[in-house]
Amino acid sequence: SQTIHQWPATLVQPVGSPLSLECTVEGTSNPNLYWYRQAAGRGLQLLFYSVGIGQISSEVPQNLSASRPQDRQFILSSKKLLLSDSGFYLCAWSGTGAGELFFGEGSRLTVL
Amino acid sequence: GESVGLHLPTLSVQEGDNSIINCAYSNSASDYFIWYKQESGKGPQFIIDIRSNMDKRQGQRVTVLLNKTVKHLSLQIAATQPGDSAVYFCAENNVDSWGKLQFGAGTQVVVTP
């Protein structure tokens, strides 16, 4: 069966520090991968998606970047965090041609 | 319903009663709709989906209704249980942006004993 893992689960970082959130998927190959952000009391906003290694599409301009160094690995990064980067970050995957997304457990980032 | 601002609409339901959660969507080209359940501090979990060529689909204790005329989607939960307390999101997709779901703001369901 397919599983998705993301870490760390929680992170408290000072403004201006770097960020790296990692997500890996097991049990499937060539998945579509996604990073979503959820602000408190809000829905999910799509940040990045990837259909293959090295292929990243950004949905909104921001202080973050994403990379996909391996087929089942998706990384969310920032060189210098802003206060507005605080939120709950969710990694997700889907099969090619399918609409349903499977989400990880999320990473809660607090920037102070 | 959909939220405006920072406060999620809340549906308070007594245990054992049926719940109805509503969602309005805006894209008439959307052809695939999904309901997700998100418990506090966790990622969303798939509940049920429906294609635009259907009006109704039933799962275990849940039914999704789709009214394309008024672009309205609803999730009905039968015999609501305490474990159903969560935030429920509707999401829509279309073949032009397959996999890039557009999520509604969510509805908080609180089950009271």
CB distance A99–B7 less than 8 Å? no
What is the homologous superfamily of the domain B10-112 according to CATH?
Immunoglobulins (2.60.40.10)
d(CA B109, CA B13): 7
Contact criterion met (CB below 8 Å) for B30 and B52:
yes
Contact criterion met (CB below 8 Å) for B49 and B37:
no
Q: What number is the average pLDDT over the span A94-112?
A: 86
Q: Give the residue with greater pLDDT, B105 vs B75.
A: B75
- Classified as helix, coil or strand, B83 is helix
How far is residue B12 from each of residues B19, B73, B82, B110, measured CA to CA in Å? 9, 19, 11, 5
State what percent of residues in chain A have pLDDT above 90. 78
pLDDT, tens digit, 9 for 90 and up, residues A28-59: 999 999 999 998 777 888 999 999 999 999 98
Instruction: Give the model's confidence band at A91: pLDDT under 50 very low, under 70 low, under 90 confident, else very high.
Output: very high
B60: phi then psi, degrees, rounded to nearest 5: -80, 110
d(CA A105, CA B8): 21
- Interface check B100 vs A, CB under 8 A: yes
CB distance B6–A90 less than 8 Å? no
CB distance A43–B89 less than 8 Å? yes
Task: Enter the tokens of residue B50.
Answer: 């429906």
- Interface check A59 vs B, CB under 8 A: yes
> B67 CB contacts (<8 Å, ≥6 apart)?
B55, B73
- Answer whether residue A97 shows pLDDT above 90: no
Residue A37 has what pLDDT?
93
Nearest to B104 by CA among B46, B28, B26: B26
Of A99, A104, A108, the CB nearest to B32: A99
d(CA B62, CA B58): 6
Instruction: Give the model's confidence band at A83: pLDDT under 50 very low, under 70 low, under 90 confident, else very high.
Output: very high
Domain count, chain A: 1
CA of residue B34 relative to chain centroid, distance = 7
d(CA A37, CA A30): 23
- Interface check B27 vs A, CB under 8 A: no
Residue B98 has what pLDDT?
63
- Classified as helix, coil or strand, A64 is coil
Q: Give the residue with greater pLDDT, B53 vs B2.
A: B53
CB distance B100–A46 less than 8 Å? yes
CB distance B43–A59 less than 8 Å? no
Residue A99 has what pLDDT?
66
pLDDT, tens digit, 9 for 90 and up, residues B66-101: 999 999 999 999 999 999 999 999 998 876 666 678
d(CA B71, CA B66): 8
Residue B2 has what pLDDT?
37
Residue B31 has what pLDDT?
85
Interfacial A residues in 63-102 facing B (CB < 8 Å): 90, 92, 94, 97-102
State what percent of residues in chain A have pLDDT above 70. 96
Q: What number is the average pLDDT over the span A59-71?
A: 91
pLDDT, tens digit, 9 for 90 and up, residues B5-48: 345 789 999 999 999 999 998 888 888 899 999 999 899 999 99
* CATH number of the domain that residue A46 is part of: 2.60.40.10
Q: Hey, where are the domains in chain B?
A: 10-112
By residue range, what is the domain housing residue A83? 3-111
Instruction: Give the model's confidence band at A110: pLDDT under 50 very low, under 70 low, under 90 confident, else very high.
Output: very high
- Interface check A105 vs B, CB under 8 A: yes
d(CA A94, CA A73): 13
CB distance A101–B101 less than 8 Å? yes
